Amino acid sequence: MPKRGYHHGNLRQALVDAALKLIEAKGPQGFTLSEAAKAADVTPAAVYRHFEGREDLIAEIAKQGYDIFADLMEYAYNSGQPSAMASFEATGRAYLAFARKYPGHYQAMFESGVNLNSDPDLALVAARASDVLERAATQLSEHIPADKRPPASMFSAHIWAMSHGVVELFARGAPGARTPFPPEDLLESGIGIYLRGLGLIKPDN
């Protein structure tokens, strides 16, 4: 059958969907633009009507991923209200849930080397996701005098790094292969230990 070329309905999204499957199967660096075109059933030349190259396609996938991620983080934060601690822990669990449900987006966002500053829209939506976690961190530390509380941007970044580490080591591939504990339990206990060490929550919480 002849290729449908740029007359394909929503070619841009079709290429994104095809690339997502390739990323899940081969990783963000494991496929070519020609493979994405073939998977979307269009000619390679048609791809360039929508994307400058493979990196541009991956950046679009990352942008869509961050948009989903930010919505999930926002929902998680709101679900924990009015408890600051519940909201903070919920955002951590949302990170794990996102990595499991959207592995292609996750890899495009965090494992492709995509430059967030290459596209203003990408930078904006990525900031929206991190802002949710920082907002939760700010609320959690409000009870501490301003001159004694740690910067919310610092410990929210630490929690993000911890969440990322749990995902990479224990929530992807073969969960439980390296530890008998569920990733959610590892993250929750790690967050608790870290926050108690900073004096953000009481030892008996």
Q: What is the per-residue pLDDT across 65-96, written as a single tens digit (0 to 9) for each?
A: 999 999 999 999 999 888 888 888 888 889 99
Q: What is the pLDDT of residue 6?
A: 44
DSSP code string of 58-88: HHHHHHHHHHHHHHHHHHHHHHHTT-HHHHH
Contact (CB, 8 A) for 89 and 80: yes
Q: What is the pLDDT of residue 115?
A: 85
CATH of domain 1-51: 1.10.10.60
Q: Does pLDDT of 1 surpass 50?
A: no
Q: What is the per-residue pLDDT across 28-51, written as a single tens digit (0 to 9) for each?
A: 989 988 999 999 888 888 888 888
Q: How many CA atoms lie within 13 A of 18 on its CB side?
A: 21
Cα–Cα–Cα angle for 22, 23, 29, nearest 5°? 110
Domain ranges of the chain: 1-51, 55-198
Q: What is the per-residue pLDDT across 134-190, written as a single tens digit (0 to 9) for each?
A: 998 898 888 888 888 889 899 889 888 999 888 888 877 655 556 778 888 888 888
Cα–Cα separations (whole angstroms), residue 33 to 102, 105, 112: 21, 17, 15
Domain with residues 55-198, CATH architecture: Orthogonal Bundle (1.10)
Rounded distance between C-alpha atoms, residue 13 and residue 60, angstroms:
10
